[in-house]
């Protein structure tokens, strides 16, 4: 659980909420309906407050610092339990997600920790990637689990070394065989280098998978067999039957649910691999693909669909327990 403390000013029974936080604290006005002296005030009836906790209810607690309810400062602590293992910051085609926008959005949808890579890497601008990640860490603190996205070029032009030695504590390595078409192939050394970096840092290797040449999960069968000491996360787990096949063959294979249809998540669970499924949304990429959709609603809906499709226990394992274990979050 990750407590986030927000400070609000209450003056003469009017709760002053910064515009930025109004959606986050949509339930806050209910605080005024309760005695301010109530030290632990649980607000669980605010329907527009999409934070999912143990029983699926939004929870918020506030307490006053003074006994004067006409002019007091309330502190709210929101406990987030959701961990999103597939998030991006930076440039993606025409959209740019700033670190501040990202943290605000994830806070609003109830995400605590998140594993995040910069899609700006497509520009091979390593200093920009480093800058974005540092800003993100300064804003999101230990909620941020930085993912180092390597390109084949970065291995050979000094970019990888710069990113490895910039002071960021990388929690995962990522490669993208589709965007780096021609790279990460089975018969080139680059893939071995990426795997060895993951091993040295003792972090998982996240691989984009999908139905394009070089991205099928089976393209990595050989490497997974060869490196049982490295955990391989098949991002998107696509196609799902191949991903499940690899999970059956090897214990060091996981999947994330970014853009994974809910029935496929259920399939992974039914195949017995709920302990190796990570919740991921790929945000802000959905913003690019579904420009008409309200992203607050989008996130709540995909999460709700999962909630309706698996047991409460499996929901918690997928959205919380697995990531805590894999990314060694305290
Ligand atoms: Zn992604």
Q: Which of 80, 99, 133 is the last residue of a domain?
A: 80
Residues 298, 209 share a domain: yes
Residues with CB under 5 A from ligand 1 (ion): 282
Residue-by-residue DSSP string for 192-233: HHHHHHHHHHT--EEEE--SSTTTSGGGGHHHHHH-TTS-EE
d(CA 65, CA 74): 6
Same domain as 76, residue 87: no
The per-residue pLDDT string of the chain (330 residues; one tens digit each, 9 = 90 and over) reads: 333 344 443 333 333 434 344 333 333 333 333 332 332 233 333 333 322 222 232 334 333 333 333 333 344 444 556 899 999 999 999 999 999 899 888 877 878 899 999 999 999 999 999 999 999 998 888 889 999 999 999 999 999 999 999 999 999 999 999 887 668 988 779 999 999 999 999 999 999 999 998 899 999 999 999 999 999 999 999 999 999 999 999 999 999 999 999 999 999 999 999 999 999 999 999 999 999 999 989 998 999 999 999 999 999 999 999 999 999 987
Q: What is the rounded CA–CA span in Å between residue 126 and residue 270? A: 41
* Model pLDDT, residue 25: 39
Q: Ligand 1 centre and the CA of 39: distance in Å?
A: 42
User: Are 64 and 169 within one domain?
Assistant: no
Measured in Å, residue 284 CA sits from the centre of ligand 1 at: 9
Is 249 within 8 Å of 221 (Cβ atoms)?
yes
Shared domain check, 65 and 17: yes
Judge if 60 and 101 occupy the same domain: no
Domain coverage including residue 200? 82-326
Q: Are 54 and 151 in a shared domain?
A: no
For tokens 């009836």, the residue is: 45
- For residues 248 and 282, membership in a common domain is answered with yes
Assess whether 290 and 317 both reside in one domain.
yes
- How far is the C-alpha of 258 from the C-alpha of 273, rounded, in Å? 16
Q: Are residues 121 and 269 in the same domain?
A: yes
Which of these three, 24, 53, 80, is where a domain ends? 80
In this structure, the answer to whether residues 141 and 198 fall within a common structural domain is yes
Domain identity same for 258 and 300: yes
pLDDT for the residue numbered 109:
81
> 208 CA distance to ligand 1 centroid (A)?
7
H or E segment to which residue 247 belongs: helix 240-249
> 245 C-alpha vs ligand 1 centroid, how far in Å?
22
For residue 296, the model assigns a pLDDT of 87
What total of structural domains would you count in the chain?
Answer: 2
CA–centroid distance, 149 to ligand 1, in Å, is 10
Does residue 105 share a domain with residue 68?
no
230 Cα: distance to centroid of ligand 1 (angstroms): 20
**0.85 exceeded by the pTM?**
no
Strands 82-92 and 111-118: parallel
Q: Ligand 1 centroid to 194 CA: how many Å? A: 18
In the listed set 45, 80, 115, which residue is the last one of a domain according to the structure? 80
CATH number at residue 277: 3.20.20.140
């Amino acid at each position: 659980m990750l407590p986030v403390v927000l400070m609000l000013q209450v003056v003469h029974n009017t709760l002053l909420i910064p515009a930025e936080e109004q959606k986050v604290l949509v339930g806050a006005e209910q605080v005024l309906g309760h005695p301010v002296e109530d030290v632990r005030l649980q607000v669980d009836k605010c329907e527009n407050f999409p934070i999912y906790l143990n029983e699926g209810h939004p929870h918020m607690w506030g307490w006053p610092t003074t006994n004067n309810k006409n002019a007091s400062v309330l502190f709210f602590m929101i406990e987030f339990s959701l961990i999103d293992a597939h998030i991006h910051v930076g440039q993606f085609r025409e959209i740019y997600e700033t670190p501040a926008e990202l943290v605000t959005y994830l806070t609003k949808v109830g995400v605590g920790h998140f594993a995040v890579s910069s899609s700006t890497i497509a520009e091979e601008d390593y200093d920009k990637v480093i800058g974005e990640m540092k800003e993100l860490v300064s804003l999101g603190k230990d909620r941020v689990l930085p993912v180092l996205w390597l390109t084949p070029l970065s291995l050979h032009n000094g970019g990888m070394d710069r990113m490895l030695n910039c002071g960021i504590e990388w929690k995962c390595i990522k490669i993208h065989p589709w965007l780096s078409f021609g790279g990460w192939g089975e018969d080139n050394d680059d893939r071995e280098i990426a795997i060895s970096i993951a091993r040295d840092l003792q972090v998982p290797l996240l691989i984009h998978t999908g139905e394009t040449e070089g991205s099928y999960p089976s393209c990595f069968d050989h490497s997974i067999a060869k490196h049982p000491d490295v955990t391989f996360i098949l991002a998107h787990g696509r196609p799902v039957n191949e991903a499940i096949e690899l999970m059956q063959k090897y214990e060091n294979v996981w999947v994330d649910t970014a853009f994974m249809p809910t029935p496929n998540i259920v399939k992974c669970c039914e195949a017995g691999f709920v302990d190796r499924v990570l919740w991921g949304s790929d945000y802000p990429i959905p913003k690019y693909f579904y420009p008409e959709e309200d992203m607050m609603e989008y996130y709540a809906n995909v999460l709700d669909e999962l909630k309706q499709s698996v047991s409460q226990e499996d929901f918690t394992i997928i959205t919380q327990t697995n990531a805590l274990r894999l990314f060694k979050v305290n």
